[in-house]
Structure formats: C-alpha cells, structure tokens
Amino acid sequence: MKTITISRQYGSGGRYIAALLSEKMGVPCYDSKFLPKEAERHGISQEIINEFKGKTSLLYAIGVMMSEESQDKKRLTIPEKMFHAQKETVKRLAQEGPCIFVGRCADQILKDDNQLLRVYIYASDMEDRIKRIKKNKHISQEEALDRIAYKDRQRRDYYNFYTGSYYPRESLLAGQLLVKQVSHYTDYEKRLTLAKKFIEAAADNIYRNLRYYNGRGKDVSEYLRDVDSLRKQLGKVASIEELMGIEGNIRRRYYAAWNVIVNQEIQFEKRVMHPPDNMINSLISFVNTLIYTKVLGEIYHTQLNPTISYLHEPGARRFSLSLDISEVFKPLIGDRLIFSLLNRNQITEESFTKELNFLHLKKDASKLIVSELEKRLKKTVMHKELGRQVSYQYLLRLECYKLIKHLIGEKEYEGFRIWW
C-alpha cells in the first residue's frame, strides 16, 4: 500500500480521521488546501479559484469526462484547467511517495494504481453528524440538517451520473443493508426475533397508555391486568402467527378499555378495518394511515428498503416496513391523539357523514386531525440516551437507525418504549 484516498460522508469527521492517520503513519495528508497553489501554477487567477471554490461536483464531472489522450490543453475551459491542475498534482504527489488524499476526486484520478487503498468514512449516527457540523460551522440544527441533505445529494449525484458507478458509501452500504434486510427476512428465526421486538414494544406502550389513564380517574384496572398477563406471553411464541394471535388479544382488551377512557358514548367493541363499521374504527383507520405515511417518510431518509418487513408479510407495492415500525408508535402518537380529539369533543359523530355509516370524515374534520397530528409530532421529550430534546417525529427516524444497527450486527434492536 502506497497511497490512501479518503472519501467521506459529509459531517462524518473524515478530514479529522485523515489527519490522525497521517500523524500516526508519518506521511503527508493532502486536502483542498493544495488546490489553489497548484491552480495558480497553471495560470488560473485567485479570483477564478474563489469563484469555483467548493464546486467539487463540477470538478469531478470534468475529471471523469476528460480523456488524457484527447486533451488539447490550449482549448481547456477554466473549470477544465482547474481539474487538470488538480489531476496532475494528485498524480505527481502519489508518485513522490506514500501519502493520503482527502477528497479531491483522488479515488477516481488514481483508480488504476494497484497500490491504492480506497477508504470511505461513514457516520452511522445522524446525531453525530449534526453535532459535528453545528460545532464546526456554528450553525443551528435545522441548518445542519439542510446542509447534510444538500451535500449528500450533491456527492451522490455526481458520482452516480459522471462516473457510471455508485457513490462509494451510500450505494455500497445500501447494497449491503439490502442483503442484510433480506437475510433477516428469509431466516425465520431472525425474522421472528424482530417481529417479537415490534410487538413487545407496542404491547408495553399500550400498557403504559392504560396505566396513564388508570391514574387519572379512569378505572381500567381490569384491562390493565389482562394486557399485562398477555404481554408476558409474547417472549414464548414460536411463530409469527402465534405472535399476532396474542397481539390481537392484547388489542381486543385494549380497545374494550376505550369505552372507559373516552368520555363520549362510543360503544366500541372491536377493531374493524375493511371497511370500518363505525365512527371509532373510521377514526383509527384515518389516523393510522397518517402515521404509516409519516413513518414511510422517515424510512426514506435512510437506506432501509420499505418493502421488506418482518411482522407484516411483504407484498407487491406494499411498504410493509412502515407498518412494522408504526405498531410501536401507534399507542403514543395515534391513540393518544384520538383520545384527546374525542375527550375535547373536537371530533364527534357530527364529524362524519352519517349516510355512509360513519365511514367518511367530513373535510373540516380531516383537516383538523391532520393539523393536530402535526402539532403532536412537533412535541419534544428529553431523550434518555441523547441527553437532549427530540421531537416525536424524530423518534420515528431514530427507530429506523436502531433497526439498521440491528441488521448490520452493530447493536440489538429494542423497540421504542414510552418512558414518561
């Protein structure tokens, strides 16, 4: 090994790691600082350098499209000259002796070097990236998130488009993760383990809801005992069918308690979905659909494939992973929202079209529910592990990250549980 090229995910600390590696190995480390000097040597003024500073995607595009055999240096445009200066410098420095390059398209420039070691630095924890960028750039969390989204998209796009290959980390890890997702589905024991985790967390959150209302003048102690007894059986199940059978019994007892929790006369006995047969079933179906959509949106912020699931059976055009993760959060986000809407009389029988057997929410009622859900998702709690306030919506994202860590063997997944 003679040369190391380090590409990095924005905010991963790749530049810092490169500096430490350089010091440890006793070899020089080259990053963006060498480009202006070399560009000036090729007749490019400082003003032009400043104009194109940071436009790495442009440089990369030029570098990939340029062929050494066909270059007419006299006809090169300014950006082409800038890349040519960078390319010649990278090659010269690599020939002079062992060194480390950070970015600068060095992995592409030196791709034919058989002594090259390519490294990609990836931050598996989004919180670490945000914290590092906030500190280094002195910006807010929202600005850090915007910058991450922009940089990730920019780097991925120019790698994919201009090199004909995939962005090193994004695609490689996404590919590896896809393999892991599939293997955890095809291995029944692994699939059952995850399915149990989802339902155990959901059952615990249901229990917390009942305990919450039982302590606030709603006598649901009978249902509390039943749910507690049933949830203790979850760890012993040997199949997903058995798991879902117990989960169904838990929800039946839970839904029976709604007649006590809700102040209105709802006469709610069981969950009916296709189609809903009363006001409460219609309301649950509508709110759950909103939650599925929110969870799916958070899945799309990760490399998880939303069609591969463990509790719910995957199917064509079915984003079933969002159903799995939603099970964990429905008690906190969905059910508590429904209790609030009903107990404050924001939603009543008048909110539904009676002619259709309460199957259809009126437009104003739908808008109200969406608005109230958005407010709830913005609520924050002090996260026990992160030590800072996080929104309910961000809890959904964190759940995706926890699942990824489980799939890649980094940390066993434990479903979210209400702790307050």
**Residue among 235, 252, 225, 229 at smallest CA distance from 199:** 235
Q: Give DSSP secondary structure letters for 153-176.
A: HHHHHHHHHHHSS--HHHHHHHHH
Measured over the CA atoms of residue 69, residue 75, residue 80 and residue 86, the dihedral's sign is: positive
Q: 313: helix, coil or strand?
A: coil
CA 100/CA 88 separation, integer angstroms: 16
Count of all residues that appear for the chain in the document = 420
Note whether 325 and 403 are within 8 A (CB).
yes
- Cβ–Cβ contacts within 10 Å for residue 12, how many? 21
Q: Give DSSP secondary structure letters for 271-288.
A: ---SS--SHHHHHHHHHH
pLDDT tens track for 60-109: 433 433 433 344 444 444 555 666 777 788 888 888 889 999 887 788 78
Question: What does DSSP say about strands 380-382 and 389-391: parallel, antiparallel, or unpaired?
Answer: antiparallel
Q: 85: helix, coil or strand?
A: helix
Which residues, given as ranges, of the chain have pLDDT below 50? 51-77, 157-173
End-to-end alpha carbon distance in the chain: 53
Residues 6+ away with beta carbon under 8 Å from 9:
120, 121, 122, 123, 129, 152, 169, 170
Q: Give DSSP secondary structure letters for 25-49.
A: HT--EE-TTHHHHHHHHTT--HHHH
User: How many degrees, rounded to 5, is the angle at CA 238 between CA 236 and CA 239?
Assistant: 130
What domains can be seen in the chain, in order of their start residue? 3-124 (3.40.50.300), 179-407 (1.20.120.920)
Phi, psi angles (nearest 5°) of residue 115 = -105, 15
Note whether 276 and 338 are within 8 A (CB).
no
Exposure string over 124-163, b if 16+ CB within 10 A, otherwise e: eebbebbbbbbeeeeeeeeebbebbeeebeebbebbeebb
CA 198/CA 120 separation, integer angstroms: 33
Element of type H or E holding 144: helix 141-163
Indicate the angle between helix axes 279-299 and 392-407, nearest 10 degrees: 60
Q: What is the predicted pLDDT for the residue at 62?
A: 38
Q: What is the predicted pLDDT for the residue at 336?
A: 97
DSSP code of residue 386: T
pLDDT tens track for 342-386: 999 999 988 988 766 656 788 899 999 999 999 999 999 998 888
User: Which amino acid is present at 152?
Assistant: D
CA 270/CA 212 separation, integer angstroms: 22
Q: What is the predicted pLDDT for the residue at 254?
A: 96
Q: What is the predicted pLDDT for the residue at 121?
A: 84
Residues 6+ away with beta carbon under 8 Å from 262:
268, 339, 342, 343
CA 105/CA 395 separation, integer angstroms: 36
CA 370/CA 355 separation, integer angstroms: 23
- Cβ–Cβ contacts within 10 Å for residue 197, how many? 22
CA 204/CA 119 separation, integer angstroms: 42
Q: 328: helix, coil or strand?
A: helix
Q: What is the predicted pLDDT for the residue at 68?
A: 38
Average pLDDT, the chain: 81
- Structure-block tokens of residue 63: 């570098």
CA 42/CA 86 separation, integer angstroms: 10
Q: What is the predicted pLDDT for the residue at 65?
A: 39
